[in-house]
Structure 1
């Protein structure tokens, strides 16, 4: 696929409109002022992975300032996320970026685990990443149309319904296997309470009830509190899932090194806000909630 179109004069115009000097822009990007001079005068072109940061510095949308003339391949998605190949190893859990390099060069496809991890890191869906991978292998794949917004699913007051709700809201429609869920729940609970067959029956509605210790192990498998499966209040279900989603976002941010970019003052304000919010929700008992 073609690189994003870089126009040095457009960058200069946006920089001036933002009242930034070349030195200001260079400092924000951790490059030399001469590099910005060369970009704006068409003497050089910045690496594609720098374009998102450049657009952000001058307050422009990436697609508006540096448009792309076709749908992205794997390398394009990585660059749009502001990453070099070496930056991806923290997500793929590999010692080197060779799997990424091989996939971007159309030599070997990514593992399913890497697809899931990189889709989250690049802030795209699995479908978009898989389509980009096919383009890297020379296939003509049209751009993935954004999905139309659909009403959020309701929390159904059955074990099967709640598992379906988790599947939709937290796992993008793709759960771990029943065997993996059983293994995870048993490991976290320290007891052999779940089997593959039991999890399957609970998931498809073959069983509609289960002992409290089984529900607790199931909750541990999904990394949610037991109250999610025990309560019949849909608001509690939505609160659990919303909180879990926020925690996942912070986990991704930390993996990207985001927490190092947050000043201690901001961290303290966030901590106070979370503490105050919990106190408002739970009442005086929230005073003992760790922050």
Structure 2
């Protein structure tokens, strides 16, 4: 995963891409089931079925969805029922709308998970969320924060943003996002 923001046209689009993206990005290193980085298909299926209290999905079906296998009867990728999508969403702790086609929430989920991974990895500390409604931070704001963090990781942001007490983005809260950056609305 690169440190830069995911451009609006580069989000995962298909169900297979979304599941794969979540598997690769939703867990901090060693934070998946059993201490692994990425849970196996069987681990995902077991967790989904346990949460539901019944059999919702089998590992072969999940594999077909994750890999985008084509249904020979329809010539299109296999699709998932709402129960299966709900179970997958609960496993990854994302809004079920993430799996819907062309959903506006996809970009927000992508940026939110990238941001949370930075928090889990210790790249971000001491954030206080004030005035954030039920909808959370906007996709644009999360992308902006991820971009600033990536610049600092790459060493390109150290000169761009003043330090504490100097009145810039990292300073006294003047709201100045730093040179070359527009503040998201």
TM-score, structure 2 normalization:
0.51
Q: Please tell me the root mean square deviation across aligned C-alpha atoms, in Å.
A: 3.7
In 2, Cα distance between equivalents of 1:156 and 1:175 = 18
Q: Find 2:132's aligned residue among 250, 263, 274.
A: 274
Which is bigger in relative contact order (C-alpha 8 A, separation at least 6)?
A: 2
Q: Render the CA deviation track for 1:153-202: whole Å, top value 9, x for unaligned.
A: 82233210111222343347952111000011122233320211111111
Aligned length: 121
Name which one, 1 or 2, has greater alpha-carbon Rg: 1
- The reply to whether residue 185 of structure 1 matches residue 48 of structure 2 is yes
Preserved CA contact (<8 Å) 2:45 2:59:
yes
Q: Render the CA deviation track for 1:21-78: whole Å, top value 9, x for unaligned.
A: xxxxxxxxxxxxxxxxxxxxxxxxxxxxxxxxxxxxxxxxxxxxxxxxxxxxxxxxxx
Matched with 2:86 is: 216
In 2, Cα distance between equivalents of 1:188 and 1:224 = 15
In 1, Cα distance between equivalents of 2:4 and 2:84 = 33
Q: Find 1:237's aligned residue among 106, 115, 129.
A: 106
SS at match of 1:165: helix
Shift of 1:279: 8.7
Preserved CA contact (<8 Å) 1:160 1:208:
no
Preserved CA contact (<8 Å) 1:155 1:238:
yes
Matched with 1:115 is: none
In 2, Cα distance between equivalents of 1:161 and 1:194 = 19
Shift of 1:250: 4.8
More helix by share: 1
Give unmatched runs, 5+ long, in structure 1: 1-146, 282-291
In 2, Cα distance between equivalents of 1:162 and 1:226 = 11
